[in-house]
Amino acid sequence: MLNIVLVEPEIPNNTGNIGRLCVGTGNKLHLIHPFGFQITDKNLKRSGLDYWVHLHVKEYQNIPEWTDQIPDKSRVFLFSSHAKISYYEAEFQEGDWLVFGKESVGLSQEVLDLFENHLTIPMSGLIRSYNIANSVAFVVGEARRQILLNP
């Protein structure tokens, strides 16, 4: 399974949609506090529908708590609109960590400095970024495709 990480998610609907995607694709969701909502938020539940109970999810109180339990830091991929390397150039494998920042500002420089693999999702110059739920879906789709082609 892939490890999908949301650092300080702010919008419950996005987190709910990503949780639903994780259930559908057999991946684990990791959520790093603080959140901009409560896990009991009705919007989170509505977006995740009744799938949330099937979600393999783990919460962390802070970044160090999360990073301390990563077995291979070379398999952590951070997504940023400022990165220069496209996610199409990465070679994903089972167990990888796909890390996305908060909706309003992305990943902090502090988090970016922790890992070497910084990737971007190509987009036209007409937008600053994609919705985080869409971004996660793009990347999970490509990672799953690669894993199926190269078991």
How many other C-beta atoms lie within 10 A of the C-beta of residue 74?
Answer: 10
| pLDDT (average), residues 84-89 | 97
Q: What is the mean pLDDT of the chain?
A: 92
CA distance 145 to 107: 26
Q: pTM here?
A: 0.93
pLDDT in tens, 47-63: 656 787 889 999 999 99
pLDDT in tens, 122-142: 999 898 889 999 999 999 999
